[in-house]
Chain A
Amino acid sequence: MRLIDSVFRQGHLSERALVDAIISGDRPHHLDRCDICATRTTELARWMQDLQTDAVELADEIFTPERLTAQQDQILRRLQQIDHPARVIAFPASMRREQADSGGRRVAVSWVGVAAAAGLAIGLIGGQFSARLTDPVAPAATTTVDAAAAATAESQTAPVDAGFLLESFDTVGISALDTLDDMTPRLAQLNARSGG
């Protein structure tokens, strides 16, 4: 009997002492003398027993034997996976085998990309070089073609005596216009008339 029990509880045991007694199984001497505490202990022990029964039944009702079996199988499957981890299988295996059987040379995928890039670079550089090398030739050819075309066009449209166009107007003599030329007063004559 603790001092606190004898002072504050009129000599009766505290609930904690009752719980300790029930759990440990050590029955205090006070219970043999005090009917009140003995009854309290019995009630508390029964309540705790009911609680335990309910809790166990509740769990067992949910986890049926079938569920336990299923869980055990699942555990064993997981253990098996740990012991024998699955290997990664190459995909697609059949295609790879066919390629190997056909005896064709396999090219790594990464090399295909590299080859494509290299081809592009070579094409660009080669194109630039070839363009630079052919630059002076191409305009000459064009000029030649233009001159030839012009000469051709000229020969088709110009009259045979087209050379008069280059001569001075005064020196040009066209017989058909001579009459008209005679009728037309000259500038010198007009000046003389106005001056006289």
Chain B
Amino acid sequence: MSEVASALIGREADTQAAIAVKALQAAGKLDGARERFTELVTRHQRRALRIAFHYVRDAADADEAVQDAFVKAYTHIGTFRDELPFEVWFTRILINGCLDRIKARKRREKWLAPPSIDAMGHERDPAEYLPSRGPSPEDYVLRQERRRQLHVALQQLPERQRAVFVLNHFEGRTSREVSQITGLNESTVRVHLFRAIRRLRGLLSKDAARPGAASRRVSRASH
């Protein structure tokens, strides 16, 4: 009850802040507009980074995508309408930005793709592209390993499934909200969500069952 109430209060506060920013911009009080907009940045920054990170799968890209999304939201705040929660409106901007980044990266990777086959002719594990984090206690390494597996598994989801899964499961958005953000039908959202979960379960269980996978990565991480 308290979570729902605080969420509603947060939404109301977001909407009020966004409308205030819009009014201040229209009045030419730009310093005040920026100050009010900072409230929105503070409230949504971490959540936006999580979404962007799981979506674009790269910290630097996620960082830039979030910056761009906030700048775009500020410059286009005039188009914000209070019938839609600010969070949904902003997340839509963010997701579109992430999609653009993914498309641009795919175009780049056509020319600059890292070799997936090593000199010995063996296929390289995608986890090898991630930097190791130095020596650490075993439990810490195992936890890291589990997260890395998750990160790798998320990479293998199709874009829509990943978007729906991240928004719904990691960020706790309802199917209706995900539908508003992504522009997909609500039932389609549920289908994507289920397929994402089924695929992730398959990928993660397969990765965990692979003989020597964990121990090999543990030794790699400890070097």
A residues near B (Cβ < 8 Å) are 15-16, 19-20, 23, 47-48, 51-52, 54-60, 62-63, 67-68, 71-72, 74-76, 78-80, 82-84
Contacts and interface: CB of A to CB of B under 8 A. Distances in A.
B150 A72 contact: no
Contacts of B177: none
Given A58-B151, A78-B71, A83 B50 contact: no
B146 A54 contact: yes
Interface of B: 30-31, 33-34, 37-38, 41-42, 45-46, 49-50, 53-54, 59, 62-63, 66-67, 70-71, 74-75, 143, 146-147, 150-151, 154, 166, 168-170, 175, 190, 193-194, 197-198, 200-201
A75 to B, nearest CB: 5
Q: Is the interface of A mostly helix, strand, loop or mixed?
A: helix
B169 A51 contact: yes
B86 to A, nearest CB: 16
Contacts of B63: 63, 67, 71
A47 B66 contact: no
Contact of B170 (A55, A68, A74, A84): A55
A52 B168 CA distance: 10
Contacts of B54: 55, 59
Given A19-B194, A48-B169, A63-B53, A58 B150 contact: yes
A54 B147 contact: yes
A80 B66 contact: no
Contact of B198 (A15, A54, A62, A79): A15
Nearest to B70: A75
Given A58-B151, A79-B74, A19 B45 contact: no
Given A19-B193, A54-B150, A59-B54, A68 B34 contact: no
A56 B170 CA distance: 7
A82 B74 contact: yes
Contacts of A78: 67, 71
Contacts of B200: 51
Nearest to A50: B146
Nearest to A16: B194
A62 B148 CA distance: 12
13 contacts: A15-B194, A20-B194, A48-B169, A48-B197, A58-B147, A60-B46, A62-B53, A75-B71, A76-B34, A79-B34, A79-B70, A80-B34, A83-B33
A75 B34 CA distance: 10
B131 to A, nearest CB: 12
A76 B42 CA distance: 11
Of the listed residues A20, A71, A78, the one surrounded by the most CB atoms of chain B closer than 10 A to its CB is: A71
Find the residue from A16, A58, A68 having the highest chain B CB count within 10 A.
Answer: A58
A57 B170 CA distance: 11
Nearest to B59: A62
A48 B201 CA distance: 9
Contacts of A63: 46, 49-50, 53, 59, 62-63
Nearest to B71: A78
A75 B46 contact: no
A108 B123 CA distance: 67
Contacts of A55: 50, 54, 147, 150, 154, 166, 170
B67 A74 contact: yes
Contact of A59 (B31, B42, B50): B50
Contacts of B31: 83
A57 B193 contact: no
A83 B30 contact: yes
Contacts of A57: 147
Contacts of A84: 30
